[in-house]
Structure 1
Amino acid sequence: MKLVNLNTGEILAEQVTEARTFVRRLKGLMFTKALPQAACLHIEPCRSIHTFFMNYAIDVLHLDRNHTIVGIESRVVPGRIGANIKNTASVVELPAGSIAQTRTQIGQAVQFQ
């Protein structure tokens, strides 16, 4: 499955991993060595994230129920608690730098294809 920015047509990730169960959402990317450049983790439901027990920084997209971007966090380093952004229904964790590289902005819509 891919993650595509519907406003720009850019592919944000070639490989989407879903985290929908309690255990998978709880584990997230903890204890992983790296997030491959073309990959992301979609956590649903989820209102905010943390980077405890992680070894690298990540970018985070906050999505509403319609998969419109309602918040962005860039380069969240290990050991931090992410923002709690209004109307967030799910989040996408991407490799650090992905958001800037793809010119992704609040208000744009994404689609899982």
Structure 2
Amino acid sequence: MIIKCCNQIICTEAEYANTFFKRFKGLMGRKSLAEGAGLLIEPCNQIHTFGMKFAIDTLTLDKDNVILYIDHEIQPGKIRKMVSKGRRVLELPSGTANKYMLQVGQVISVE
């Protein structure tokens, strides 16, 4: 799937983790996340980076895909805060949020 924000393509190869096993596995066991790749986890309002080998950026989205919270460069072995109205979390390569100047309140589109 392709993910856009403000008429910019921010992710060209997003995977969709919408089953228990896919959500549980997430990005664990991978060596990296390529530029343009991502993982959209649903339902989800909190993530951890245990078992990961690289840093990521995350966007927590509400039911309408509005960005509620942005977490930059989350290192392996961390637990992030729960976002109460969060419905989805988009995990992206570290630095992506800054590269595209993403901000809370912007809307993400998924194609």
Q: Secondary structure in 2 aligned to 1:26?
A: helix
Give the unaligned 5+ runs of structure 1: none
2:49 paired residue number: 51
**1:15-54 correspondence to structure 2 within 5 Å:** 15-54=13-52
Amino acid at match of 2:98: A
Structure 1 distance, partners of 2:94, 2:81, is 16
Q: Secondary structure in 2 aligned to 1:92?
A: strand
Are 1:3 and 2:3 counterparts? yes
Give the unaligned 5+ runs of structure 2: none
Question: Structure 1 length as normaliser, TM-score?
Answer: 0.96
Q: Secondary structure in 1 aligned to 2:21?
A: helix
**1:1-113 correspondence to structure 2 within 5 Å:** 1-5=1-5, 8-113=6-111
Per-residue deviation, 1:78:
0.1
- How many residue pairs were aligned? 111
Aligned Cα RMSD in Å?
0.6
Q: Secondary structure in 2 aligned to 1:23?
A: helix
> How much identity, in percent, do the aligned residues show?
38
Displaced runs of 4 or more, over 4 A: none
